[in-house]
Structure 1
Amino acid sequence: MRLSKFTSLLENSLTADQAKQIHCQIVINSLNDFEPLLIRQTLKSAAHYSPRITHYVKLILQRLQNPDAFSASSTIRYLSQHGQFREALSLYVQTHSAGLFPNTFAISSALKACARILCKVGGLMIHGQVQKLGLCKIVFVQTALVDFYSKMGDMVIAHKVFDEIRGKNVVTWNSLLAGYVKYGDLARAQSVFDEMPQKDVISWNSMVSGYARAQDMEQAYGLFRRMPQRNSASWNTMVTGYAECGKIELARSFFDAMPERNNVSYITMISAYSKYGNVEAARELYDQVSEKDLLLYNAMIACLAQNNRAKEALQLFDEMLKPNVNFHPDKMTLASAISACSQLGDSKYGTWIESYMREMGIGMDDHLATSFIDLYAKCGNIDKAYELFNGLQKRDVVAYTAMILGCGINGRAKEAIRLFEEMMDADIIPNLVTFTGILTAYNHVGLVEEGYHCFMSLQRHGLVPSQDHYAIMVDLLGRAGRLEEAHELIKNMPMQPHAGVWGALLLACSLHTNVELAEIAANNCFELEPDCAGHYSLLANIYASAGRWDDANRLRRAIEEKGLAKIPGSSWMDSAKS
């Protein structure tokens, strides 16, 4: 193939398959000098982030006979622009370690990556390199440093770097302003805003979002009305602000009044409906969008998964993988899909997602690993969950909770207790689901006093026990024969007990043949779940054990006459597994 033909091909937009075909010819013809050009054109042609393209480009970079800084810099910039911040920073470090010096665009992109993933060490290292390379007077590099320190919350250093910049532009001012807004210092933010020699729509949006986050919608609306120019982000900020304040009707009225909506506008409103459980309204909006993108799919799949519509979430996930749609799921999509698998107890689908990630070159970060831990733990594959748990870079409350709950509901109580103690020693604050798991474990091994002490500690952590926590405690006390205490606990509940709570007491009464309390528990179960034969059968068995055959036969006849199905009532165990 002639050199002019190669040059012509590399000036056109390339798909991943076309890039591979051209690369094959480059290798066959020993035209290695064309590889950097192939990298740049492949990245330039990618309209959206593609794990497949990224994986392929990184393979080329690793095998370049004559590594060049510009190819690496282009890849770093591409990764950062498409939100792959950890990969961007990792490649920057590898490039620098190889003795290559990334260009100023790559340095700015790497600083942006550090700011987004809050990697202070990485940002400080790059700042040192900037000083060493004499790049301190380049405005967009200095602006990236202001943005980094602002996002890290170090506003003293951010302001110091800002003061050293000559020829500040509106982006520089906006970086400082955004820092004060992010950390809630609205007085300083307002001061910076008032000092700005020139404001753009981003400046106004920052201040509006600051007041909206502080739920001061009166001030936010006042600024919104004064804006000389608005864009979709201005309207979206107001929609989000009203939604966060619980004023969903006002949020919708702003959405409806928008002169022009983009996909982010729909995502904002879908997320608002999702938060308040209005899946139908969210789906209606989603269906209105003719040209859907990955972020819109992510918002709707997350909405379904978060609102216990797991089957629908996976159906939508399957839809986006079809050839006529062909969106590549990102880590957010996958986390929602794994959550849906966890709700359904579908470890087979979860295993397929794991293999899909390997095929597409999607790395297993802590967030995804934690989602898989939750899935495998709930499905009873504790060993696989442990394998992932032990590989986490940082264990947080979500990861510990998934393991504790998984061990608790799968009969590995001692391990759940050990993990809970380890978590407390690490000063990680438990949440309500953590307590469900650990109380289940105490219940499994019959540690009544420890369980009761744990239950009482909920309030010390600022948590209000749910009905499921009460159900576990009633079961724990009841199995230990402390039926009167269990009944007193139910009577003192701050909310109306559900059938699972009364069912736990009824079951305990059957173990200890306490007819009096059994009748109280059963009557409440009959009222809450009148069509469940299980409660009638249990009380009938208690009567039989106490020798009250007439009462037992009366209940059994009632089951037959009413045609009741022997379906167990809902219980705390069902809730724990969902």
Structure 2
Amino acid sequence: MTMYMPLFRSCTTLRTLTQLHAHLVVSGLHRDPQASTKLIESYAQMGSLQSSTQVFQTFPSRDPFMWGVLIKCFMWNRHFHQAISLYQEMLHREVGMNGFIFPSVLRACSGCGDLGVGRKVHGRIVKCGFDSDAVVETSLLGLYGELGCLDDAWKVFVEMPVRDAVSWSSIILCCVDNGEASEGLEMFRLMVSQGVVPDSVTMLSVAEACGKLAFWRVARSVHGYVVRREFTKDESLDNSLITMYSKCGDVQSAERIFRYFTHWHTASWTAMISCCNQVGSFSEALDIFVEMQESKVEPNSITFMCVLLSCVRLGLLKEGKSVHCFVIRNAVDPDFDFLGSALLELYAEIGGLKYCQKVLNMIGVRNVVTWNTIISVYGQKGLLREALSLFVEMHTQGLMPDSFGMSSALSACGKMGLLELGHQIHGHIIKRGYSDEFVLNSLIDMYSKCGILDSAYIIFEKMKHPGIITWNSMISGFSRSGNSVMAISLFDQIYLNRLEIDEVTILSVIQACSELGYLEKGKWVHHKLITYGVRKDLYIYTALTDMYAKCGDLRSAQGVFDMMVERSVVSWSVMIAGYGMHGEINAAISLFSQMLDTGMEPNEVTFMNVLSACSHAGAVEEGRLYFRSMRDFSVEPNAEHFACIVDLLSRAGDLNGAYDIIKSIPFSVDASIWGALLNGCRIHQRMDMIKSIEKDLLDIKTDDTGYYTLFSNIYAEGGNWEEFGNVRLMMKGIGLRKVPGYSVIEIDKRVYRFGAGDIPLPQMKEVYSFLENFQSLTHGQGIT
């Protein structure tokens, strides 16, 4: 067999390899396990896995090494599922295991994102006694690191009897890739202190950690260490240093390294273009690309990804198309494996979905990155159903979505309220063992938007070290669902534990205070904003204005409003609404006039707030005026505007005018509009009008219990108990019941919420005792 080894090396085409295979068959050497194993490997290297499999299947007695080679061949060619299936077949046939097999299987598990199978393989490794094999253990580190399981990776590392430079490099890479760059630098310090000499691979991860943390001083030290250890001849490391400096914002140092090169390679140019992109110098990035072409250095697909990003950020569609044409003419990426996602991003941002569709048609075999980009693009454009259809199609084609794909799909489920599909994706996440914070945050957000706060909170509580994004998701979920007490309680936990607080946290807690009317807490949050010097964010100051207005402190609301350097249409609308809800009609109208004087165009919310102000004050003529003027500002009245003007007229007794407006509505009239007229009839005792429009009122299909309750109460007030019973039966028939009310009370600067039958307070017995005593006292004094 040894004499044929040079022949295998001389086979440069599939044809010559096939001829050699035929010669081996004729000579009978194909029965030699070494020859067959070499054939399997050679066919796979030339892309013919079918021939590799055929050689494997026709060999009579396959040893573990041959199984391991075929598994490795499938893994090389990114056929991860087939590699795992082959390993499982080995187990089923009870073929003996060796240490050579496990690294390939573990790599296949990380390649398809199957943590569940990876853990089982780990168990088999321990059972077979290969858990002290340095290569196998390093492969385990890679598996857990790539799938975001840093705790598991750390456990493997700690239990390793001997830690060489490769294992140290692996754990440092795990830390850096999983968002623990500081931990990665600490591991590097320990590595050096224990006398283990790092290699250039280690320094690649260390440079990346410095870049992610933007630690300029540490970056300079790392650069000095690289120079002292004479790693500078490593081109990959030089390029990493350029990227490190770019992330630290030091373009001059990055360019010095770049200009120091005697021979600039494609990777060097690409690193410099990426450096300019990192600091937002997109025009300079394109200038360097032009310089690169003038130097006759051929760009690669990564170069073009960076150039396309520059085009996207500068909004250069024409130049982006030129790059696209260059890629096609020069066959840089024939199957668009790398550039497909970059082109999709280009056209999604500054082109249009029609261009995206053309790119999709050009892409042959879509990889996970491409699928994720497509799903994300459709989600961003509001095509949520299409995004989810693509997610399902991706799964049916055997591709395992990564955390990015999962998060995009969960986001679409949350926005559409598709709880069942969200449950299915959650099950898939559990099965595959995803545990990174990005996916868990998306699950919390999905359940929150679907109104299942219990499930969201269970996930939140199980997280060991939730970051600020997770806290914000949970606070926002409670606030959005109306449980503002819990939202504020979570904020208090963040503050007491001295965790990081950002603008989103502040915005969420202000909105919670606003919903509760919790003025004291709102003032406290405002005070902390001033104390900590948080920047004057437009959204936060608008939320503060809204909070003070809803809590009845119009003076403070106006004070915050006056402090705003810039005001959006939302800011003006919020302040107008504040005056309107407290009956300050003149102030609301005056503010609306000031808004128009500044050149700010009112929108439908602004007009809604003005009409609501007129309704609160009973200003009928002003309401009519502003309602008629909406179209002058290109604002078409919607159902809420019609409901408001009908309510204004009905309360004022102009029921015929309100009815005329209803008849003029160009779309289907909903329960809110009829309900406004119905309430006016109740106030002014116009049972005759109710009788004349009874059919219209009964034809309404709605799940608004307030509408039916109002309807039934009018019949009860008129003594028509038969019709009262009919309406109540109608509610019962369609599964509606009156929504119970609740009260909010502030005790010792804490807010408690409770409804009828609830016993949420430990002091509830004392409350009931006080009420009984108070009732006895008032009766004794003749007070009713």
TM-score > 0.5 by shorter chain: yes
Q: Does the 8 Å contact 2:662/2:669 carry over to 1?
A: no
Asked whether 1:70 is paired with 2:135, we answer: yes
Q: 1:174 — aligned with what?
A: 239
Shift of the 490–350 alpha-carbon distance from structure 1 to 2, 3 Å rule, reads farther
Instruction: Encode CA deviations 1:396-427: one digit per residue, 9 max, x unaligned.
Output: 55434433443333222333345556667755
Shift of 1:300: 0.9
Shift of 1:294: 0.6
Distance 1:55 1:277 in 2: 44
Distance 2:88 2:637 in 1: 64
- Aligned residue for 2:111, secondary structure, equals coil
For 1:30-45, list aligned pairs within 5 A.
31=96, 34=97, 36-43=99-106
Shift of the 220–285 alpha-carbon distance from structure 1 to 2, 3 Å rule, reads same
Q: 1:256 — aligned with what?
A: 325
Q: 1:414 — aligned with what?
A: 485
Shift of the 190–6 alpha-carbon distance from structure 1 to 2, 3 Å rule, reads closer
Q: 1:479 — aligned with what?
A: 581
Distance 1:454 1:397 in 2: 28
Q: Which of residues 93, 102, 122 in structure 2 aligns to 1:58?
A: 122
Shift of 1:319: 0.7
For 1:346-361, list aligned pairs within 5 A.
346-361=418-433
For 1:180-259, list aligned pairs within 5 A.
180-227=245-292, 228-258=297-327, 259=330
Q: Which of residues 412, 426, 430 in structure 2 aligns to 1:340?
A: 412
Q: 2:85 — aligned with what?
A: 17
Deviates more, 1:421-430 or 1:166-175: 421-430
Q: Which of residues 357, 377, 383 in structure 2 aligns to 1:303?
A: 377
Asked whether 1:380 is paired with 2:451, we answer: yes
| 5+ long unaligned stretches in structure 1 | 570-578
Shift of the 313–411 alpha-carbon distance from structure 1 to 2, 3 Å rule, reads same
Q: 1:331 — aligned with what?
A: 403
Distance 1:202 1:294 in 2: 24
Distance 1:139 1:128 in 2: 15
Instruction: Encode CA deviations 1:425-475: one digit per residue, 9 max, x unaligned.
Output: 7552324x974774375145486526575897699899x665556555554
Q: Does the 8 Å contact 1:139/1:166 carry over to 2?
A: no
Shift of 1:119: 2.0
Deviates more, 1:92-101 or 1:169-178: 92-101
Q: Percent identity?
A: 18
Give me the CA root mean square deviation: 3.6
Q: 2:64 — aligned with what?
A: 6
Q: Does the 8 Å contact 1:382/1:407 carry over to 2?
A: yes
TM-score, with structure 1 as normaliser: 0.83
Q: 2:173 — aligned with what?
A: 112
Distance 2:220 2:627 in 1: 65
Q: Which of residues 136, 141, 163 in structure 1 aligns to 2:197?
A: 136
Q: Does the 8 Å contact 1:443/1:476 carry over to 2?
A: no
Instruction: Encode CA deviations 1:257-288: one digit per residue, 9 max, x unaligned.
Output: 22323332221122233345833432332232
Shift of the 6–497 alpha-carbon distance from structure 1 to 2, 3 Å rule, reads same
Instruction: Encode CA deviations 1:76-119: one digit per residue, 9 max, x unaligned.
Output: 23565xx43x33x4444222321433453333233223333342
Distance 2:208 2:159 in 1: 27
Shift of 1:517: 3.9
Asked whether 1:497 is paired with 2:602, we answer: yes
Shift of the 10–549 alpha-carbon distance from structure 1 to 2, 3 Å rule, reads closer
Paired residues, number: 552
- Aligned residue for 1:328, secondary structure, equals coil
Q: Does the 8 Å contact 2:549/2:579 carry over to 1?
A: no
Q: 2:228 — aligned with what?
A: 164
Distance 2:560 2:438 in 1: 28
Q: Does the 8 Å contact 1:479/1:511 carry over to 2?
A: yes
Distance 2:222 2:480 in 1: 49
- Aligned residue for 1:263, secondary structure, equals coil
Q: Which amino acid aligns with 2:159?
A: A
Instruction: Encode CA deviations 1:148-188: one digit per residue, 9 max, x unaligned.
Output: 44444321221132122135321222222221122221111
Distance 1:171 1:420 in 2: 45
Q: Does the 8 Å contact 1:401/1:437 carry over to 2?
A: no
Q: Does the 8 Å contact 2:165/2:198 carry over to 1?
A: no
